[in-house]
Amino acid sequence: MSLLKKELTEKSGFTMEFSVSKEAFDKAEMDAYKKAVKNMNIPGFRKGKAPKYIVEKLYGKGIFFEDAINACLPEAFEEAVKESGLSIVGTPKFDIVSTEGDIVLKAEGFVKPEMDLKEYKGLKAKKKVARVTKKEVDEEVERARKRNARTIEITDRAAKKNDIVNINYEGFIDGVAFEGGKGENHDLTLGSGSFIPGFEDQIVGKNIGDAFDVVVTFPEDYHAKELAGKEATFKTVLNSIKFEELPALDDEFAKDVSEFDTLDEYKADIKDKMVKRNEKKAESDFENALAEALIKNLIGEIPEPMFEAETENYVRDYDNRLKMQGLDLSTYLKYTGMTLDALRAEMRPQAEKQVKVRLALETIVKKEGITVTDEEVEAEYKRIAEAYNVPEENVKTMVAAEDIKADLCVAAAMKFVKDNAVTE
């Protein structure tokens, strides 16, 4: 197997001819025969025992040709690509050039384009870290209080705002029950605005066991058009009343919900985490703004297969995330009514951006001669292994060192852009 010739064409295209030796092809053809003959019933021979020439006489000389070509093609093309030094993107189109002696194949497709950048030093972008206010800290503490609230059954008073009531109800319009208007043992927080305007207010003041009518009018813009603007009467029974009691806001609360001994220390820690979160967001926004600037300065034509391949990567990643949640892509599409093409179209803009930013950063790597050491590659292998809790050797089996190097160089290029940017 060897590369015979290669040629770069316009717009990052390429053509390549490579060969499969007659010996390798004959072996692949024999393997295809052995696999197929097992299931063949040929008159005069036991099942699976007919000689190859007999099978070819009955079904045609080229019966095993396509299977043999398909078996040889991946390895032959991979070797030719290595020999050519080309960086292929997407899946090429293959044709057979010659079958006399060695098999000669032709591949046509695209290579990673040579890009350029108008500017990448001194790019301007805003970097503003949002200030953490006392109100935000207090709101976070309040959320913690609500998460640690205890529910108390109320038996000695009427329902009031902020109580959690359990009710049975059935709705009627002009004395006729309507679909979707019935519920049993439904928990409702009074004042939450979960039900039709006016519904919750009419439960306030009622006692456990009371049966009463709640009369409301559906909003004109109600989602169920057959109910919009109509007056309805809900036959309602109050089953129970509960109340969420928030813990006292003191040092004991801080000890219960954190590793700190005082409320002040707990609040200080919350503020510190919020500050770090805001700093991280500001850094991310700064980097995104610089990435957009790089895209605007990028020069060159990008082959469509690069965008298609990256879009498929996004779809696969999304499928993997769904599987981690106990779903899969086909089930998700079925229940959402979305098609695979629609999902691809939704993910395409981000995929395009990713391809362009990567190409821009790879261009900077070349221009600035950015490299990484073997020690940095080893450190990255270790980081990945620890992050995913898998043996380092497994990571090395799955991810080539050259890919790790490329990713580290790209990350270094982004750092170079940020270090040389002008912060507004």
What's the per-residue H, E or C state across 271-313? HHHHHHHHHHHHHHHHHHHHHHHHHHHEECCCCHHHHHHHHHH
Same domain, 284 and 374: yes
pLDDT band at 20 (very low <50, low <70, confident <90, very high): very high
CA–CA gap between residue 189 and residue 204 (Å, rounded):
11
At 424 the pLDDT is 86
**CATH at residue 215:** 3.10.50.40
**CATH at residue 403:** 1.10.3120.10
Same domain, 238 and 288: no
Assess if residue 123 is contained within a domain. Answer: no
Domain finish residue from 60, 95, 112? 112
Assess if residue 120 is contained within a domain. Answer: no
Same domain, 107 and 173: no
**Rounded to the nearest 5 degrees, what angle is found at the Cα of 31, between the Cα atoms of 29 and 33?**
70
Q: What is the dihedral of CA 186, 187, 193, 195, to 10 degrees?
A: 10
Residue 69 predicted with pLDDT over 90: yes
pLDDT tens digit sequence for 171-189: 999 999 999 899 999 999 9
End-to-end CA separation in angstroms for the chain = 57
Same domain, 305 and 382: yes
**CATH at residue 45:** 3.30.70.1050
pLDDT tens digit sequence for 91-131: 999 999 999 899 999 999 999 999 999 999 999 999 999 99
Same domain, 235 and 313: no
**Rounded to the nearest 5 degrees, what angle is found at the Cα of 14, between the Cα atoms of 10 and 19?**
155
Higher per-residue pLDDT: 206 or 225: 206
Assess if residue 378 is contained within a domain. Answer: yes
Same domain, 207 and 74: no
CB 211 within 8 A of CB 235: yes
Q: Which residue reads 């005069």 in tokens?
A: 44
Same domain, 84 and 205: no
Average pLDDT taken over every residue of the chain: 94
Assess if residue 352 is contained within a domain. Answer: yes
Average pLDDT over residues 225-233: 93
Assess if residue 122 is contained within a domain. Answer: no
Assess if residue 133 is contained within a domain. Answer: no
At 1 the pLDDT is 54
Assess if residue 345 is contained within a domain. Answer: yes
Assess if residue 251 is contained within a domain. Answer: no
pLDDT tens digit sequence for 127-164: 999 999 999 999 999 999 999 999 999 999 999 999 99
At 10 the pLDDT is 87
Same domain, 335 and 381: yes
Name the domain count of the chain.
3
pLDDT tens digit sequence for 274-300: 999 999 999 999 999 999 999 999 999
Domain finish residue from 227, 245, 263? 245
Same domain, 6 and 104: yes
**Residue ranges making up the domain that contains 35:** 2-112
Average pLDDT over residues 9-24: 93
Same domain, 23 and 80: yes
At 39 the pLDDT is 86
Same domain, 43 and 184: no
CB 329 within 8 A of CB 347: no
Q: Which residue reads 């002696």 in tokens?
A: 101
Same domain, 214 and 306: no
At 362 the pLDDT is 97
Domain finish residue from 86, 112, 138? 112
- Across 205-218, b (16+ Cβ under 10 Å) vs e yields ebebeeeeebebeb
pLDDT tens digit sequence for 353-367: 999 999 999 999 999
